[in-house]
Structure 1
């Protein structure tokens, strides 16, 4: 029986160490890739759940309880958002930029559209079922694509226009077959589509200017959430007074 020499043992030991290191690197790299994919998946799921949950809750409150103060509901939700982001910022879990007067002045037109977008969404949900709201929101993509073409000279491929055309067909078909058709709700939803597209296009134009008035030169998502929701509060309260929602809340 052939015996291994000491040099063979050392060679096998070194080879084993190299294999272990390569496996460790592979598993480590594998964990990183899985982690990134999991983060993307979790972010997508969280967005879907929060978006669907918000729509369903708003629909339930506005329709089931016959709640006629959609602006007040918006103000309440935005106030909660401000508190959450502010607490996370104080704890150091997220970073936000200071809200200076120059930044507020630049951002104000965006915020006006933002408030209009939320209010029209509330009003349309009161009269239209959730399924139709979801279908009609696809029209926003068409308006945004046309706006990008004229405002930013962005050209879309034929496949994009084909997909947008199918979205229009689905919206028209859904409207024709909607047994609970409500003209008021469709008017509000149409306004919401235009305001949502306007918000997206205006945001793209204003962001570069707004970054010049931030401390870090950047404008992250948490700062935009804080900025939009904070500025929406005084405007929302003003609209509550205009539409007599304060009296309605006091009576009910």
Structure 2
């Protein structure tokens, strides 16, 4: 700010001062303040609610697309989702609604491993969802929480796993066992080829196990890379989807059957427009899930991010029962209930843990060798 006052304005007539009063200089003018941070983008509860809604939308839309009996072009579906996401956020950036970094080759090279983990997570999740019902899928997804919780302790060297947290983990495993037993029991007792149905379920369980490993690796890796690159939410979404497009094109062209017969089976003429429209809608839902997941990880933690997914299971499971005719039996409902309780117990455990000083480490002693400690120190640097 330019000062327009002259030196005479600073002159003081000493004879006019009251000798009984000390001279008090004028109060300084208002100091410039730094702009306040946006309370919305740093609001943890809002990020949790947004992630809940978007994950429910994403799961239901993907199940609708994958529910076709002959659908096997999963990489094609992921490509369409990423392409729609890039077009959507680029359009928003062009009109000034959002902003994110321009493409940088060096940043893309560093972020590419995270993109590969994301592709693995989404692809294995789509395969598992193709073979399993939504309730079973969401219950087994909770096992990822256990992997992430211990991964945070061992990799980042922070946090702890208390007795109450271990109890919630036990409930998660128990609910998964009940869900698997209920699913297999229903397949054996239902009409039709029981062995074929059990084989389908076993394939779904294998894909689900791989998905848990990919998801935990992706969440932990993204958290580490965000800290190193200082990526914002839209930066993460932009690089994730842009870098995945060429990989998905290659995977779809090499690994998937693009013969006219298989294309006709995946896109029958009667339902072709509806399937393509559903794919586009599922692509738009990836915009929300990509943004809200990165947002939730940034303002909370990767463990909290997974815990939110655990609490999500009740509305997601209900949507599967309502819209996709999943079997409603006492064991299946019990598995949903136990899984939901496990999420609540886990949330309570995290609240109690955060309310007191963090002391201790894992409840079972895990010795750390010199090489392991060296590796942890190198990862932190």
TM-score range, shorter chain: 0.7 to 0.9
Structure-1 separation of matches of 2:95 and 2:164: 46
Given that 1:123 and 1:185 are in contact with CA atoms closer than 8 Å, whether structure 2 keeps it comes out as: yes
- The RMSD of aligned alpha carbons is 2.2
Correspondent of 1:133 among 130, 137, 141 = 137
CA apart distance, 1:47: 3.3
CA apart distance, 1:42: 6.5
CA apart distance, 1:160: 2.0
Unaligned runs of at least 5 residues, structure 2: 1-38, 188-197, 268-381
Correspondent of 1:77 among 62, 78, 81 = 81
CA deviation vs aligned residue, 1:175-200 (integer Å, no higher than 9, x gap):
12213451111111110111000001
The DSSP-based 3-state class of the residue aligned with 1:233 is helix
Structure-1 separation of matches of 2:263 and 2:235: 31
Match of 2:63 in 1: 59
**Which structure has more helix as a fraction of its residues?**
1
CA apart distance, 1:225: 0.7
Aligned pairs for 1:205-244 within 5 A: 205-211=224-230, 219-244=231-256
Q: Are 1:246 and 2:258 matched, yes or no?
A: yes
Given that 2:63 and 2:129 are in contact with CA atoms closer than 8 Å, whether structure 1 keeps it comes out as: yes
Correspondent of 2:53 among 43, 49, 53 = 49
CA deviation vs aligned residue, 1:141-182 (integer Å, no higher than 9, x gap):
001112112112222332222222211111122112213451
CA apart distance, 1:64: 3.2
Aligned pairs for 1:1-252 within 5 A: 44-64=48-68, 66-154=70-158, 155-178=160-183, 179-180=186-187, 181=198, 182-211=201-230, 219-247=231-259, 248-249=262-263, 252=267
CA deviation vs aligned residue, 1:201-236 (integer Å, no higher than 9, x gap):
11122223323xxxxxxx111110111011110000
Length, aligned pairs only: 209
CA deviation vs aligned residue, 1:106-146 (integer Å, no higher than 9, x gap):
10111100001110011111100000000000000001112
Structure-2 separation of matches of 1:234 and 1:250: 24
Structure-2 separation of matches of 1:165 and 1:171: 10
Structure-1 separation of matches of 2:74 and 2:99: 31
The DSSP-based 3-state class of the residue aligned with 2:67 is helix
Q: TM-score, normalised by structure 2?
A: 0.51
Given that 1:79 and 1:233 are in contact with CA atoms closer than 8 Å, whether structure 2 keeps it comes out as: yes
CA apart distance, 1:40: 7.2
Match of 1:32 in 2: none
Given that 1:106 and 1:209 are in contact with CA atoms closer than 8 Å, whether structure 2 keeps it comes out as: no
- Going from structure 1 to structure 2, the CA distance change for 1:238 and 1:144 (only over 3 Å counts) comes to same
Structure-1 separation of matches of 2:163 and 2:86: 42
CA apart distance, 1:65: 5.1
- Going from structure 1 to structure 2, the CA distance change for 1:197 and 1:136 (only over 3 Å counts) comes to same
Q: TM-score, normalised by structure 1?
A: 0.76
Given that 2:140 and 2:208 are in contact with CA atoms closer than 8 Å, whether structure 1 keeps it comes out as: yes
CA apart distance, 1:96: 0.5
